[in-house]
Amino acid sequence: MEAYYPYLKSLHLIFVITWFAGLFYIVRLFVYQIEASQKPSPDKEILGEQLKIMASRLWNIITWPSMILALIFGLWVLGMRTFFLADAWMQVKLGFVVLLIFYQFKCHQIFKQLQRGEVKYSSNYMRLFNEVPTLILFAVVFLVILKSAVNWIYGTVGIFVFAIMLMMGYKIYKRIREK
């Protein structure tokens, strides 16, 4: 079974990438759906229906299967290297994975609402909401690459600085869009 470890790890990474791609794009589609709902008829209906189809295909054909397969292969790989569970970096990484799963379920809730034509959030809120997986991605990549070499204080401060930079970038982008 050990000979399959690199293949399983590769499959895990591939499905993590497609999972993140789905999460990044679904929220972008949420932004477009929300903005389309504010357009006059017939644009509102035409765009709304097309965006619902796109979101449904992305969510059900790419994002959910990618999450499930990323978790299956990740657990399989972890089962082959259970000693990693004792490492602080792996425990923190798994914490971020749990946060990402919660994010997925929140996206699912928003997806269902928008599929029913219920708009409960602004497009600006969704743009900010879309930065959550970016922060998780940065944190996990640095944790996995640096492992025990991570200075937890600098790493934590770095994530917060990155989040602040994202917020500032969003504010600048919003001002440019409004001109």
Confidence of residue 8 (pLDDT cuts 50, 70, 90): very high
108 is in an annotated binding site: no
Which tens digit of pLDDT belongs to each residue from 94-146?
Answer: 999 999 999 999 999 999 999 999 999 999 899 989 989 998 998 888 888 88
- Average pLDDT across the chain, whole number: 91
Q: What is the largest CA-CA distance in the chain?
A: 60
Share of the chain above pLDDT 90, in %: 66
**155 has pLDDT over 80:** no
Q: Which two tokens stand for residue 20?
A: 């993140």
pTM of the model: 0.86
Provide the residue type at 24 as one letter.
F
Q: Which pLDDT score, from 0 to 100, does residue 146 have?
A: 80
Q: What is the dihedral of CA 84, 86, 88, 92, to 10 degrees?
A: 70
The answer to the question of whether 93 is labelled as a binding residue is yes
Please check the confidence at residue 151 and state whether its pLDDT lies above 80: no
Q: The tokens of 84 are what?
A: 């990693």
